[in-house]
Amino acid sequence: MVVNVSISLVNNPSAVYYPGQTVQACVQFHSTVQNRVKGIYAKFKGNSHTSWSTGSGDNKQSHSETEQYFKTEIPLFQAPEGDYVEMQPGNYGYPVNFLLPQVVPSSFEGGTGYVRYLIKAKVRIKGGTDYRVQHPFTVIFMLDLNTIPEARLPAQMQDTKTGCCLCCKTGPVTCMIRLDKQGFVPGENIKINAEVTNNGTSSIHMTTVSLNMTTVFKAHGSTTSRSKVLSTISHGAVGPRESDIWSGDQLLVLSTPPSYLYGCSIIDIQYSCRLAADMEGSLMDIKFDLPVIIGTIPLRPLEDLPLQPPTMSYGQPSEPSWLPSNDQQPDNIALNNMGNAGPITTQPGRPPDAPPSYEECMTTNRVRIMRQNSNSADQGEEFSNFAPSYPYYKEKA
């Protein structure tokens, strides 16, 4: 006897969706024997969750919070109450649609917390095992850099320290970093302009510039944060009375979630370019962060923008105009209220130069998802390591 349950997405190999789009799926049920089936159900679920512990032993405390965006179960096939239907051996497919709410945050997997979207399917067998399976998908809330005035502006930061060497005061070491703009998208290179001036008596062993991601997780008034270095470039030693100039060195933005994680009130994501100077034989290393913004739609030339480009707002977003049209709407599906949603942006009214490709996230955790449930000895439960995918813009050569 073989029973196999799986879920497939219809006409969307990337498994990427946007708020307000319809998710079209098919629940597939295969059996080589007759089954007494009580019902077949699909469930669409979107939520965020944070969880961590502090202290140890008797002082250990657990912190967690969940934010629900939607949770809707749709019966695909259902026998009368308390009864069942004899289903003959064969292959069965049940199409199902679900309309995503207009405001939901981007997918995110971060270990300590996540924003996750799933389609679940369940086949209830009378007097037997219920078969359950789930299929993850990515949701992207569009963060258009053209709606954020700061994204287009240049930024600069510097720090100066004067240290001691063998109890003698040395000359100052000054580090400066400058960016032509503050907003970037995955696939784009951040062009680094920097200057390191060493007026001290000790050498600088190395200078580095890194793109850092800091995620803040919240749970009922408690917070914790996690930081990760996404990419790094470096220069060599700078001797006493010497300087080093960075002229447009390129720091790649990998596939990564957008800044802020709008629509989620328990997870916040911030990015920065960090300049660090490692001094030889000294405790006065220089390290500071220049904030940057990672979006999903790149900056366009000013002449291509409307006379009054939209800025950050709290209005309901509209679907990006370059997305594939989808006129099919689900029937009789009740959506739950959003609950606490963070600030949002107006969604773009014009497409970028070309629709982006999508690449799996390179900067956060993967989650193990059971994609197939079968009692077959050669199939069994099939798992996959899922990571969300994000828009990725490859710069033209």
Domain boundaries, the chain: 3-139+366-387, 145-294
For position 131, what pLDDT does the model report? 87
> Which residues 6+ apart lie within 8 Å of 26 measured at CB?
7, 8, 10, 93, 94, 95, 96
Top pLDDT among 93 and 339 is at 93
Q: Are 268 and 216 in contact (CB under 8 A)?
A: yes
When the pLDDT of each residue in the chain is averaged and rounded to a whole number, the result is 83
Q: Above 90 in pLDDT, residue 313? A: no
Any idea which of 9-23, 33-47, 126-140, 341-355 has the lowest mean pLDDT? 341-355
φ, ψ at 136 (rounded to 5°): -80, 155
CATH 2.40.340.10 assigned to 145-294: no
**pLDDT-based confidence at 364, cuts 50/70/90?**
confident
Q: Are 252 and 273 in contact (CB under 8 A)?
A: no
**pLDDT-based confidence at 164, cuts 50/70/90?**
low
Top pLDDT among 333 and 81 is at 81
Q: Above 60 in pLDDT, residue 257? A: yes
For position 368, what pLDDT does the model report? 79
Which whole number is the average pLDDT over 340-351?
33
Same fold: 3-139+366-387 with 145-294: yes
Give the right CATH number for 3-139+366-387 from 2.40.30.10, 2.30.31.20, 2.60.40.640, 1.10.4160.10.
2.60.40.640
Q: Are 144 and 311 in contact (CB under 8 A)?
A: no
